[in-house]
Amino acid sequence: MYPSVLQEPLSRQFGYLLLLGLAIACVSWTITHEEIFRESREYCKAKSQNCKPLYQRKFFYLFTCEYCFSHYVTALFLLLTQFQLLYQGWRGFLISGFALVWIANAYMSAFNRLRLEIKAEKLSTAEQANSAAENKLPR
């Protein structure tokens, strides 16, 4: 028994993959890194370090790690959109799940690298401004 192939063009499936991956990356990054969720993230971080049972520590850790959390966001998006990749049925969901997690994490890695470069550039600019100001001071 061979799995039935989706009739949708591969280019359209790939486009959906990229768009859904971007949405998953945005949700995962926002919840695990941005200021708006800082209090709940700090609560989860404290719980992940201080809870006695292992399952509680692991449960709360999921909300502090963008990679881990992206799996759950992907599962939610797959449930909502019913997106399948290449094949119909459970094979399509399985392939799309792994592909979406990979794409979302590639987006998050690129965004993190961009943020680090921007911070480094700001720091370099501030250091140059400070050294220029120090050179202008009379001695």
* pLDDT values of the chain reduced to their tens digit, one per residue, 139 residues: 788 999 999 999 999 999 999 999 999 999 999 889 999 999 999 999 999 999 999 899 988 888 999 999 999 999 999 999 999 999 999 999 999 999 999 999 999 999 999 989 988 888 888 877 777 766 5
The pTM of this model reads 0.82
| pLDDT value for 139 | 59
| pLDDT value for 129 | 80
Rg (the chain; Cα; Å): 21
Question: Distance between CA atoms of 131 and 47, rounded to whole angstroms?
Answer: 44
| pLDDT value for 137 | 64
| pLDDT value for 29 | 93
Strand partners, 5: 87
Taking CA atoms, 15 is separated from 11, 71, 93, 125, in Å, by 6, 20, 16, 39
| pLDDT value for 2 | 83
